[in-house]
Amino acid sequence: MVYIMGVDGGGSKTYCVICDERGERIGFGLAGCGNYQMVGINDAYHNIQSSIQSALSDASLKIDDISFVQFGLAGADRPKDFAILNNALEKLGFNRWDLVCDTMEGLRTGSPTNIGVVLICGSGTNSAGRNSDGATAQTGGFGYLYGDWAGGYSMAQETFRTAVRSHEMRESPSLLTQEVPKFFGFNSMGELLQDFLDRDVTSVPADLTQLLHQVADKHDPLAISILEKTGKELGLAAISVIKKLGKFETTIPIVLTGSVLQKGKNKSLLDSILTTVKMEISDVELIIPNMEPVYGSVMLAMDHLGLPVTDDIMKKFEEYGGYEK
């Protein structure tokens, strides 16, 4: 029996699954942050190792039983990152394995040919692509100072400051001035502001993005404008990747991954992405995968082994659902 392991390490969790060559999931494990840029290589390694051990235990397997491991890790962006991560991953003891940025596993979930552009919008944001010649390119993923604006943390900050500005009549009225205080357990923006200022609060949790979607669904103009701004930024990143790569022989799939895109699926945000891209590149389509990114790693591992990824296998990966289930 051939056993394949996929590991997806991001800013909030590290998720590991083990499947056989028929796509049957026989083990999984979950641990904390797998992005070494956020928590350091030691903590990231510990979380990756923990998720793997949990999956092996769940499957009643040992390291030597695994035919191939594909790691898809946030933070694997530059040669320096790969050197640090490869040195750590070698210590895990697997015979055959490969490392890609989590963008590439995301692309594989939505593109059977592994060609196209992928946009990640979860706690943070990143974009990358692969063209018909196999060349790859990345735009973003390095934070606000290096040109990024999007992702759950950025959207949460913008949601909060927009509620403040609306409360102070620097913006038009918004439901955010009612819903943001409730989110934090206050009766009003006034109460919230006095408490936060007294405690020198300087950031808010990315979970506030969920509230943003809820308020936008109630047709609130300011909430919708934040989502449209996010969509424009993601669209510009997609354009950048396409221009860097150049050679695409067919309609370019733009695969949307990450919780903000896969779970939020807000029409204003998606329309903004597509409108922005089509201002310069017309032959594109948006694709939202129905599977967790970790199965992109599993499929890449199967590609390495020359195993066919059939429609039946992809259907299984979609049916398994997320790590919450």
DSSP string, 134-199: S-EEEE--S-GGGT---SHHHHHHHHHHHHHHHHTTSS---THHHHHHHHHT-SSHHHHHHHHHHT
Sequence-ordered list of residues with C-beta below 8 angstroms from that of 9, at least 6 positions apart, any chain: 15, 33, 34, 35, 44, 47, 48, 51, 71, 72, 73, 74, 75, 102
pLDDT value at 283 more than 70: yes
User: Pairing mode, if any, of strands 3-9 and 68-73?
Assistant: parallel
Beta bridge partners of 4: 19, 68
Kindly state whether residues 315 and 279 are assigned to the same domain. Answer: no
The answer to whether position 88 is within a domain reads yes
pLDDT value at 48 more than 90: yes
The answer to whether position 104 is within a domain reads no
Kindly state whether residues 164 and 75 are assigned to the same domain. Answer: no
The answer to whether position 33 is within a domain reads yes
When pLDDT is averaged across residues 35-61 and rounded to a whole number, the result is 96
The answer to whether position 45 is within a domain reads yes
Kindly state whether residues 213 and 306 are assigned to the same domain. Answer: no
Kindly state whether residues 211 and 147 are assigned to the same domain. Answer: yes
What's the structural domain count of the chain? 2
| Whether the Cβ atoms of residue 255 and residue 238 lie closer than 8 Å to each other | no
Domain that holds residue 265: 113-289
Kindly state whether residues 87 and 233 are assigned to the same domain. Answer: no
Kindly state whether residues 178 and 212 are assigned to the same domain. Answer: yes
Kindly state whether residues 176 and 37 are assigned to the same domain. Answer: no
Give pLDDT, residue 325.
44
**What CATH number corresponds to the domain at position 118?**
3.30.420.40
User: 208-253, pLDDT tens digit by residue?
Assistant: 999 999 999 999 999 999 999 999 999 999 999 999 998 787 899 9
Kindly state whether residues 123 and 265 are assigned to the same domain. Answer: yes
The Cα–Cα gap between 56 and 324 comes to 19
Kindly state whether residues 273 and 301 are assigned to the same domain. Answer: no
Kindly state whether residues 147 and 201 are assigned to the same domain. Answer: yes
Kindly state whether residues 50 and 197 are assigned to the same domain. Answer: no
Q: What are phi and psi of 76, to 5 degrees?
A: -90, 75
Kindly state whether residues 30 and 179 are assigned to the same domain. Answer: no
